């Protein structure tokens, strides 16, 4: 048993302006009353268990939009055209398959089907975010509509790294190495960040965690050497800065903005939030593109009502319940998780406040996301070198761990971390560096039995 400067499990119950006390259905209910008891491939796809019947149409239509295969304009399905001209996939569900998690290509021959690569140049944009590359903008689109050449193609190969635990047991890690083939000119000095699609259950709950609760955690951490930091990012609605919650570096403040941004950046769909096509000034010289850019005119590709329901859908997906949470071995694993300091950043419990859009199903819920939504320096091995608002090149948002044990059932793989380099939970832990290095070392120094218990606990989430 390793006793570290353990970080106690912090239960944050901030009832600031809320008069209601939330009901706590218990630890098994990872998503509070939104929790669904599903362990099949549909674990992330069910509506919140407490979703009002009257809101089913909005949820269902949002699901329909999420699954829509967008087509090039003009088309007979005029409500669902406007794809591109540049895109990565034609639907949200292609990357977030079954509302689940993407994975990287396994060999250099494979395409990126549920992963993308963000790019930028050093420096900041006019709103303080990543400075877009003059040709490629802020993301490489590896597909395009007929008559237009895609921006480029990125392939991955892996370098195996062998290692041993202090007790002698062997482990293997793999580091990804990327190759770029760019079609609109070279890009010397370009910064890039590969990112798999995250699973999308529970996001409305995350949106409803009071900012004060998150900042309170940051203050607590400051005194214990973990030092999580909030990312204040551009809010497209207000034009100012808001707390970022979504994305691998917490670079988006609201789900509506996240969805509109992804619709534009990944599918090429304009919306009321981002009404301009995703084409840089240099690419506009291309004749085929010039004609596409002209299409659309006043109307946007993704209608506002569609964006509204799509957002509602992403806000009200249920969180799957924990499995076997009372099993003594799993309880032991959870204790170890706390003792070695994991729960310092992967904070087990929050109470949500009133959701900003008033969605009652996700408001005032006691939930167990295992994240603090803060940025942490994870060390040079995991760094992408690409700053994103206040996140440095080596800082990442703590990802939520709820549902992590069900990714295999939903998406039939177990890859983890922002670029999917970790082939399982054990490898993911071994990559933890920077502020998490101490906890990682504690993991390595534990007995095999204790490591197994910890992994079993994680799989129960």
Partner 1 sequence: MQKQLLIIPQAILITISCLKPQPVSEAAVVRDYSLLVHASYLQARKDAQAMQKSVSDFLAAPGDAGLKSARDSWIKARVSYSQTEAFRFYGGPIDRPKSQGKEEGPEALLNSWPVNESYIDYVKGNPGAGIINDPRIQINATTLTGKNQQKDEADVATGFHAIEFLLWGQDFNPAGPGDRPVSDYTTKSNHERRKQYLRVTTDMVVTQLRSLEEDWAPGKENNYAAEFQKLNSKVALGHILTGLVTLAGFELASERTATALKSGDQEDEQSCFSDNTHNDFINNIQGILNVYEGRVGDYSGIGLDAWIKSASPEMADQILEALRSTKDKAISLPVPVDSILASPKNSDSRQKLESLSHALAQDAKLFQKAGILLGVDARLIAE
Residues at the site binding partner 1, with contacts judged by CB under 8 A: 40, 42, 45-47, 51, 53-54, 56-57, 59-61, 64, 67, 69, 77, 79-80, 305-306, 309
Number of H helices, E strands in the chain: 12, 15
- Of 60 and 164, CB closest to partner 1: 60
- Of 47 and 100, CB closest to partner 1: 47
CA dihedral 267, 405, 370, 221 (to 10 degrees): -100
Minimum CB–partner distance for residue 54 and partner 1 (Å): 6
Where does 209-327 have alpha helices with state H? 211-222, 255-262, 287-294, 304-315
Q: How many other β-carbons are positioned within 10 Å of the β-carbon of residue 9?
A: 14
- Of 40 and 224, CB closest to partner 1: 40
- Of 60 and 380, CB closest to partner 1: 60
In a 13 Å sphere around the CA of 139, the CA atoms on its Cβ side amount to 21
Minimum CB–partner distance for residue 43 and partner 1 (Å): 11
- Of 46 and 251, CB closest to partner 1: 46
- Of 309 and 351, CB closest to partner 1: 309
d(CA 369, CA 391): 21
Minimum CB–partner distance for residue 307 and partner 1 (Å): 12
- Of 46 and 139, CB closest to partner 1: 46
| Helix, strand, coil in percent for the chain, rounding step 5 | 30, 20, 50
Minimum CB–partner distance for residue 239 and partner 1 (Å): 30
Minimum CB–partner distance for residue 316 and partner 1 (Å): 11
Please report where in the chains the tokens 């301009």 appear, as a residue.
Answer: 276
Residues sharing a CB contact under 8 Å with residue 454, sequence separation 6 or more, in sequence order: 333, 336, 337, 340, 443, 446
Q: Are 371 and 344 in contact (CB under 8 A)?
A: no
> Cis peptide leading into 321, omega within 30 of 0?
no
Minimum CB–partner distance for residue 441 and partner 1 (Å): 43
Minimum CB–partner distance for residue 294 and partner 1 (Å): 24
Q: How many other β-carbons are positioned within 10 Å of the β-carbon of residue 98?
A: 17
Nearest partner of 403 among 354, 459, 357, 347, judged by Cα: 459
- Of 81 and 354, CB closest to partner 1: 81
Minimum CB–partner distance for residue 309 and partner 1 (Å): 7
> b vs e for 390-422, b when ≥16 Cβ sit within 10 Å of the residue's Cβ?
bbebbbbbbbbbbbbbbbebbbebbbbbbbbbb
d(CA 267, CA 294): 17
d(CA 271, CA 293): 14
Minimum CB–partner distance for residue 220 and partner 1 (Å): 39
Would you state the structure tokens that stand for residue 203, as one six-digit string?
């996001």
Task: Count how many residues are written for the chain.
Answer: 461
Minimum CB–partner distance for residue 299 and partner 1 (Å): 14
How far is the CA of 323 from the CAs of 334, 366, 436, 450, in angstroms? 13, 18, 27, 19
- Of 91 and 283, CB closest to partner 1: 91
Where does 150-233 have alpha helices with state H? 203-207, 211-222
Minimum CB–partner distance for residue 41 and partner 1 (Å): 10
- Of 15 and 67, CB closest to partner 1: 67
Name the pairing type of β-strands 170-182 and 86-87. unpaired
Minimum CB–partner distance for residue 34 and partner 1 (Å): 13
- Of 65 and 407, CB closest to partner 1: 65
Residues sharing a CB contact under 8 Å with residue 93, sequence separation 6 or more, in sequence order: 66, 67, 99
């Amino acid at each position: 048993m390793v006793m570290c400067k353990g970080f106690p499990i912090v239960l944050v119950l901030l009832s600031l302006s809320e008069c209601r006390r939330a009901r706590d259905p218990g630890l098994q209910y990872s998503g509070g009353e939104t929790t669904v008891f599903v362990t099949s491939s549909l674990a992330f796809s069910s509506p919140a268990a407490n979703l009002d019947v009257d809101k089913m149409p909005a949820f269902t239509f949002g699901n329909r939009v999420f699954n829509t295969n967008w087509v090039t304009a003009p088309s007979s399905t005029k409500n669902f055209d406007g794809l591109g001209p540049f895109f990565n996939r034609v639907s949200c569900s292609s990357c977030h398959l079954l509302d689940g998690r993407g994975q990287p290509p396994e060999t250099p021959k494979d395409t990126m089907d549920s992963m993308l690569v963000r790019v930028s140049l050093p420096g900041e944009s006019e709103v303080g975010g990543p400075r877009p590359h003059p040709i490629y903008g802020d993301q490489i689109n590896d597909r395009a509509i007929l008559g237009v050449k895609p921006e480029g193609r990125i392939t991955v190969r892996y370098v195996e790294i062998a290692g041993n635990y202090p007790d002698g047991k062997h482990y293997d890690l793999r580091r990804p190495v990327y190759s770029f083939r760019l079609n609109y000119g070279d890009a010397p000095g370009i910064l890039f960040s590969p990112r798999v699609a995250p699973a999308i259950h529970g996001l409305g709950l995350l949106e409803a965690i009071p900012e004060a609760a998150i900042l309170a955690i940051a203050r607590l951490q400051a005194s214990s050497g973990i030092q999580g930091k909030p990312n204040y990012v551009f809010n497209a609605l207000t034009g100012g800065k808001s707390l970022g919650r979504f994305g691998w570096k917490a670079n988006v403040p609201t789900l509506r903005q996240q969805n509109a941004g992804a619709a534009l950046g990944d599918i090429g769909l304009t919306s009321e939030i981002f009404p301009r096509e995703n084409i840089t000034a240099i690419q506009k010289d291309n004749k085929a593109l010039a004609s596409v850019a002209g299409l659309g005119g006043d109307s946007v590709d993704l209608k506002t009502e569609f964006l509204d329901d799509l957002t509602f859908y992403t806000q009200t997906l249920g969180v799957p319940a924990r499995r076997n949470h009372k099993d003594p071995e799993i309880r032991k694993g959870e204790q170890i998780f706390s003792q070695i300091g994991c729960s310092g950043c992967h904070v087990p419990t929050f109470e949500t406040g009133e959701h900003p859009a008033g969605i009652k199903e996700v408001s005032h819920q006691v939930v167990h996301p295992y994240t603090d939504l803060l940025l942490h320096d994870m060390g040079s091995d995991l760094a992408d070198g690409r700053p994103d608002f206040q996140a440095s090149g080596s800082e990442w948002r703590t990802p939520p761990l709820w549902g992590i044990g069900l990714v295999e059932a939903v998406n039939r793989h177990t890859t983890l971390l922002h670029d999917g380099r970790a082939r399982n939970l054990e490898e993911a832990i071994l990559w933890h560096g920077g502020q998490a290095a101490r906890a990682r070392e504690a993991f390595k120094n534990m007995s095999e039995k204790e490591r197994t218990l910890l992994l079993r606990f994680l799989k129960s989430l």
